[in-house]
Structure 1
Amino acid sequence: MNVQIFIPCFVDQLYPSVAFNMVKVLRKAGCIVEYNSNQTCCGQPAFNAGFWNESKDVCSKFIKDFSGSDYIVAPSASCTGFVRNYYGKLFEDSSVHKEVKELGNRLYEFSEFLIKVLEIDNFGATLEGKATYHDSCAALRECKIKEEPRRLLSKVAGLQLTEMNDVETCCGFGGTFAVKFEPISIAMADQKVTNALETNADYIISTDMSCLMHLDGYIKNKNANIQTMHLADVLASGW
């Protein structure tokens, strides 16, 4: 199966290892992975900031960069959710409306692609320790992803997964929300990390590096004894 990958801004600029590990897992699953080096942003930052015309320009490029019929896989529910749920509004009644709808049907977040399309949940990964999972708002609310990452993590040898309290509560990142409302954002991160620590977890795992970056900043500032890991890094561990 040929698979196009979309690498979000956070991953491309700050956490490239997540992208490499996603590719590693996809190749182990038998996929032929292709990367269009012309790709840039999905357009979400500008859209969320209210610059819809500027966002539409970026989104138009995304549509061209990922034309065709291949599946598209991204290590981010945030970007996936934006394309699926908001491109239709930006390009409603336009000449590319049908193309946009087809694009949304071909685009998958990493964990849901493994489970729903490839139907593989065990990659022979090994990670010793205890973990708790953080549902990103985009994964849970925009992409309806809940069981897929947990099913994948349940197959990781040596990993004990424990649910934290208020697991579906936001971590406080929310893009520009963390900048505009810093005190509230930090308080929400404090609540999330406190709940994670109460499970005695060694790791907080999620589908989205944006959430994990926010939590990791709080953890390092407080010298908390816990680490953050993207799901792709976990599934690529031990082999």
Structure 2
Amino acid sequence: MQERVYFFATCLGGVAFSDTCVNAIKLLRNSGVEVVFKKAQTCCSQPSYNSGYFDESRQIILHNIRLFNQDYPVIVPSGSCTGMMREDYKELFKGRPEYREVRDFCKRVYELSEYLCKVLGVQYEDKGQPLKVTWHSNCHALRTAKTIPYAKQLIRSLCNVELIELENEEECCGFGGTFSIKEPGISEVMVNKKIQDIQSRGVECLISADAGCLMNISGAMQKQNVNIRAYHLYDFLADRIGLQ
């Protein structure tokens, strides 16, 4: 029987990274997975949750949970949203009547790299030219979803790609969702430090699996005329194995 999954595109996926979502779906379909996309899906609720709007966040969460009502894995191309949907949802509903429903949903949530490695066990043939890259770890993926090892496993599996890690990989890039809006001065200092670290690695490409971080870092690099390409992990993988 063919594996069937739900695909959760995320807000930034729908607004600014639609091509990345298409490539993520291509990676799943390339492994023989049937992808179900629910048009009525909405934000994972992380921005409202981080801003203290807990009751409003619960309404959004229950909408998504009841939309993805079949017992299929929910695949998310973002460690940040995965952390929210798999861990923080449970915190918001502790002691509430809906807790069991929420907990059962959380068990079905996977970040895409995690699903590709842990469930599908993918093996990719690298069709690209030799390339030196570095990797930025999104904070929520690192500390909450804990999916960074899977992303790195996929990159390292590409025979023509050399992954050179950042000196201060675990330091935030300054995006932090609403943080970059509320504290733009601090955010700018943080992203500049991140860019200095990236430049010191002597790489041609920066890879991350978080759209927000990529927007923040790539936008700052463009302003500084830094000639390093910022690549979403799932665009990068699709390109390297010939799906684009």
TM range (shorter): over 0.9
Equivalent residue runs for 1:150-229 within 5 Å = 150-229=152-231
CA shift, 1:96, in A, is 2.2
Say which SS state the counterpart of residue 126 (structure 1) adopts.
Answer: coil
Cα distance in 2 for residues equivalent to 1:19 and 1:29: 16
Question: Are residues 1:75 and 2:81 paired?
Answer: no
Q: Of 25, 35, 41, which aligns to 1:23? A: 25
Give the conservation status (yes or no) of the 8 Å contact 1:172–1:189. yes
For 1:105 and 1:62, the matched residues in 2 are separated by 14
Select between 63-72 and 90-99 the one with higher mean Cα deviation. Answer: 90-99
Distance in structure 2 (CA, Å) of the matches to 1:208 and 1:134: 9
Q: Report the alpha carbon displacement of residue 124 of structure 1 after superposing the two structures with TM.
A: 4.2
Normalising to structure 2: TM-score of the pair? 0.94
What is the CA-CA distance between 1:129 and the residue it aligns to? 2.1
Distance 2:148 2:80 in 1: 14
Q: Is there any run of 5+ residues in structure 2 with no aligned partner, and where?
A: none
Structure 1 runs, 4 residues or longer, greater than 4 Å off: none
Change over 3 Å in CA distance of 1:186–1:121 after alignment to 2 = farther
> What percentage of residue pairs aligned between the two structures are identical?
34
Distance 1:32 1:50, change over 3 A: same
The letter of the residue matching 2:145 is C
In the alignment, what sits opposite 2:146? 144
Corresponding residue number in structure 2 for 1:116: 118
> What does residue 95 of structure 2 align with?
93
Note if 1:105 corresponds to 2:99.
no
C-alpha RMSD of matched pairs (Å): 1.3
Following superposition, the deviation at residue 194 of structure 1 comes to 0.9
Larger mean CA deviation between 20-29 and 49-58 belongs to 49-58
Instruction: Pick from 32, 35, 38 the counterpart of residue 33 of structure 1.
Output: 35
SS of equivalent residue, structure 2 residue 160: strand
1:59 alignment partner AA: I
* 2:126–2:160 CA contact under 8 A, matched in 1: no
Partners of 1:192 and 1:135 lie apart in 2 by 11
Choose 127-136 or 110-119, whichever is displaced more.
127-136
Deviations 1:54-79 (A, max 9, x none): 11111111111112210110111111
The CA deviation at 1:157 is 4.1
Deviation at 1:152, TM superposition (A): 0.4
Work out whether residues 4 and 70 of structure 1, in 8 Å CA contact, stay in contact via their aligned partners in 2.
Answer: yes
Count how many residue pairs are aligned between Structure 1 and Structure 2: 239
TM-score by structure 1 length? 0.96
Tell me: CA distance 1:47–1:127, structure 2 relative to 1, closer, same or farther (3 Å): farther
Give the unaligned 5+ runs of structure 1. none
Shift of 1:95: 2.9
Matched letter for residue 222 of structure 1:
Q
8 Å CA contact 1:127–1:234 kept in 2: the answer is no
Secondary structure class of the residue paired with 1:108: strand
What CA distance in whole angstroms lies between the structure 2 residues aligned with 1:127 and 1:179? Answer: 39
Tell me the CA shift for residue 122 of structure 1.
2.2
**Structure 1 range deviating more: 155-164 or 194-203:** 155-164
Give the Cα separation in 1 of the matches to 2:127 and 2:98. 41
Distance 1:140 1:121 in 2: 24
**Which deviates further from its counterpart, 195-204 or 126-135?**
126-135
